[in-house]
Amino acid sequence: MSVSAASHLSPSYPDRAAWGTAPKLRAWQQEAFDLYFQREPRDFLTVATPGAGKTTYALRIASELMNRGVIRSITVVTPTEHLKRQWADAAGRVGISLDPEFKNSQGATSRDYVGVAVTYAQVAMHPALHRARTEARKTLVIFDEVHHAGDAKSWGDGIREAFDPATRRLQLTGTPFRSDDNPIPFVAYAEDGDGALRSVSDYSYGYGPALADGVVRPVIFLAYSGEMKWRTRAGDEITATLGTPLTKDQLGQAWRAALDPKGDWIRQVITAADRRLTEVRRGMPDAGGLIIATDHETARAYAKHLRTVTGEGATVVLSDDPGASKKIKEFGLSTQRWLVAVRMVSEGVDIPRLAVGIYATSISTPLFFAQAIGRFVRMRKRGETASVFVPSVPLLLTFAAEMEAERDHILNRKRDEDGLDDLLLEQAQREQKQPDALGDELPFQTLEASATFDRVLFDGGEFGTAAASGSPEEEDFLGLPGLLEPDQVASLLRKRQADQQAAKRRQPKPAPAELAPHEVIHELRKELNGLVGAWNHRTGQPHGVIHADLRRSCGGPPIAQASAEQIRERIAMIRRWASQRK
């Protein structure tokens, strides 16, 4: 089999070829390909940003190894069932026949195939079977998103047992490595001088270089804050503004309230995102949108909101749906506007026309976030941009600002005090029907949730000022052209921000309005709840216990029935507690 097996196909640039089939390698692919054959290694780890073309590169290496007689069989190991079929399709287009339907119970596959595509879980269930297959013929094993080999110790042990006899092993990953201490099989580690072991890649190609090379799309992040109000199990009503300093509990619950389908926040963000999609479609007629949801119930509810907004249905992909893979493929080939998915489109799935996204999940690991954003950066032609809508949560905004950060897998590392690193990615990827994110242990009822445009993040910079949903200021950013070069995006964002600031300076300052009685009580409740949150952070006492102590000290009914004067007394009391406590 020759390296030019795909020479009859259209080039990947400027028009993108079918997944994994580009006949001419991009510069980074050729460089990594040449390095591989200079070294002739048994193990080779390639780290390349999502959308850069790892599949094309890996299949070209496989073709060359087959042509040279180094290997006679190929095994591709993937994180999901859908990716097995996607790899088999891509391999088939370059003359490599892989069986994506191979099951452990079969023991062997048809001689029409030169190899199989399997999942990490499948291998871990019967490593001896896969070891026997690997020993039977000189085999190249391609590990797609190899960090999954460390999802559990049993998985790592199984992968090591199954593929230890392999003639060649090619490891691929497109996202920051996990931060737990499960070593990833066949990955090399070196001491970093701080008593930790750091993974060592043989070739690395990050988002920053890929963006500079025009290989991936630039990503515009549109952040939305807003006021959330909810009732706790103790019956307390709490109001908080997303995007302002909050305790961990408050942030988790405010974030959850924002994503609640019953509130207005998600409706308003969906409306804004669909408006953005309409603008993008002026230059990309088939552009599609993706909402990444936390669980099945909210995914279906978001689809109903989309029908109300757009007048047409959305494709809903659930992790337990046997037809999920077919739905993803059909959506990728259609011109339908929106796809709603729970997790399974977060990694590896190739839908190049996705250009607008809503990060509507409270999974907060850097690995999951990077995987999710990777769905939108796959370039088809120059000038395409991606737009992703996110809640104004500090952690997410940090991830967005650090899109170009490169992370290694570090063993025996010192843990961050905030405890927010991505331990056990499998929890984020596991198929569940119930929420599994921050605040799940704090049941509450969402009372109100409204969205406010906060800012735009692009290339490490922030643009725009807070504006009401549906305002001309928001429209300035939703209406950005969908086809722009990265420098044009930055230039236009700076101009929009300067225009808005100039317009605000020209506006006369309004005289402060006198608050109505209900507004006075609302502001006092907000102040008290903020103080209670701060006291909770300081003492560890639950919010309900603090409110109960204040009632015992000051008298009066629960906060929902308390008068303005009674709330002022409680505010004064908790301030005295704070001043008296050493």
pLDDT digits (tens, 9 = 90+) for 238-286: 888 888 888 888 888 899 999 999 999 999 999 999 999 999 999 999 9
Beta bridge partners of 224: 391, 453
- pLDDT of amino acid 510: 66
- DSSP-assigned states of every residue in 278-336: HHHTTT-TT-EEEEEESSHHHHHHHHHHHHHHHSS--EEE-TT-TTHHHHHHHHHHS--
**From CA 83, how far away is CA 55, in angstroms rounded?**
11
Beta bridge partners of 141: 75, 169
Return the CATH number of 216-410+444-453, one of 1.20.1260.10, 3.40.50.300, 1.10.10.10, 1.10.390.10.
3.40.50.300
Continuous H helices in 444-542: 472-478, 486-506, 517-539
Q: Say which residue, 567 or 191, is predicted with more confidence.
A: 567
**Which range (216-230, 423-437, 527-541, 550-564) has the least confidence?**
423-437
Q: What is the mean pLDDT of residues 351-364?
A: 91
Q: What is the mean pLDDT of residues 138-161?
A: 85
Annotated domain spans of the chain:
27-205, 216-410+444-453, 517-580
380: phi then psi, degrees, rounded to nearest 5? -110, -40
Helix (H, G, I), strand (E, B) or coil at 349: coil
Q: Say which residue, 405 or 160, is predicted with more confidence.
A: 160
- pLDDT of amino acid 176: 57
* Contact assessment for residue 81 and residue 328, using Cβ atoms and an 8 Å cutoff: no
41: number of Cβ within 10 Å: 14
* Contact assessment for residue 294 and residue 437, using Cβ atoms and an 8 Å cutoff: yes
Sign (positive or negative) of CA dihedral 522, 528, 532, 535: positive
Q: Give the amino acid at 570.
A: R
469, 472, 391: which is closest to 225 by C-alpha? 391
* Bond into 14 cis (ω within 30): yes
pLDDT digits (tens, 9 = 90+) for 280-323: 999 999 999 999 998 899 999 999 999 999 998 899 988 667 77
State both tokens at 476: 């300035």
Report strand pairing: 203-205 vs 461-463: unpaired
Q: Which fold has domain 27-205?
A: Rossmann fold (3.40.50)
**From CA 423, how far away is CA 355, in angstroms rounded?**
29
CATH topology agreement for domains 27-205 and 216-410+444-453 = yes
Q: Any idea what DSSP says for residue 174? A: -
Q: Which pTM value belongs to this model?
A: 0.70
Mean pLDDT of all residues in the chain? 82
Q: What is the mean pLDDT of residues 94-116?
A: 93
Q: Is the pLDDT score of 11 beyond 60?
A: no
Query: H-helix or E-strand containing 222?
Result: strand 219-232
| pLDDT-based confidence at residue 116 (cuts at 50, 70, 90) | very high
**From CA 302, how far away is CA 360, in angstroms rounded?**
9
Q: Is the pLDDT score of 97 beyond 60?
A: yes
What is the SS3 assignment for 355-419?
Answer: EEEEEECCCCCHHHHHHHHHHHCECCCCCECEEEEEECCHHHHHHHHCCCCCCCCEECCCCCCCC
**Which range (493-507, 549-563, 564-578) has the least confidence?**
493-507
- pLDDT of amino acid 177: 64
| pLDDT-based confidence at residue 187 (cuts at 50, 70, 90) | confident
44: phi then psi, degrees, rounded to nearest 5? -145, 120
pLDDT digits (tens, 9 = 90+) for 521-540: 888 888 888 888 778 777 87
- pLDDT of amino acid 380: 84
Q: If you search the block for the tokens 């097995």, which residue do you land on?
A: 84
